[in-house]
Amino acid sequence: MSKYIVTQNVADCIGCRACEVHCKDKNNSGPGAFYCRMIEVTSSAGSLPRIDFVYLACFHCEKAWCVDACPTGAMRRRDKDGIVYVEAKSCVGCKACITACPWTVPQWNPETGKVGKCDLCMDRIDEGLEPACVSKCTTGCLSFTTPGQASESARQAFAEQLLRNRR
């Protein structure tokens, strides 16, 4: 796990897929390749329909299968913050990383014949900015944070809700 995490408030997500588009526009991921994806899950079982969307990008694993599988060292992990990324010039397009990843996160770019994946827009992070998907999320349901901060703010919100609902 990189020191960062992108969290999603599902209640505020409307499945508008702006995150996917902002990512593609910024990262030029190639036709059919999505570094992040909004997965729709619906159910009509209860009295109210459930129509939810779940944000899935890359988990930036601490011990990343894709990095271990890569024969050329193109798939690598940034020392300073643990971001897992592809060094394009070393990628030979063998797809070992795609096979190795339990969630098939690395994406195939048919135009370049190489793999690409979410690097949390590390060029933006290095400028003190947020990843494209988070920065421009239509409803603000995505947050770029750290696991510690995410836990802290979730607990804070829960505590406030507890007090609001106190009779």
Query: Radius of gyration of the chain from Cα atoms?
Result: 18
CB of 166 to another protein, least distance (A): 14
- Distance in angstroms (rounded) separating the CA atoms of residues 25 and 19: 10
Residue 37 φ then ψ, to 5°: -140, 145
By CB under 8 A, is residue 155 in contact with another protein? Answer: no
Cα–Cα distance for residue pair 58/55, rounded to 1 Å: 10
Told to check if 56 binds another protein by CB under 8 A, we report: no
Q: Which amino acid is at 98?
A: I
User: Using CB under 8 A, which of the segments 16-24, 63-71, 97-105, 143-151 binds another protein?
Assistant: 16-24
Q: Decide if residue 71 touches another protein (CB under 8 A).
A: no
Considering only 21, 67, 69, 94, the residue that binds another protein (CB under 8 A) is 21
Shortest separation between residue 10's beta carbon and another protein, angstroms: 10
Nearer Cβ to another protein (49/102): 49
Binding of another protein by 22 (CB under 8 A): yes
143 interacts with another protein by CB under 8 A: no
Among 7, 17, 95, 122, binds another protein (CB under 8 A): 17
- Under the binding rule (CB under 8 A), the answer on residue 147 touching another protein is no
* Residue given tokens 């947050």 in the structure block: 143
Question: How many residues touch another protein (CB under 8 A)?
Answer: 28
Name the site residues for another protein (rule: CB under 8 A). Answer: 11-12, 14-18, 20-22, 24-26, 31-32, 42, 44, 48-52, 135-140
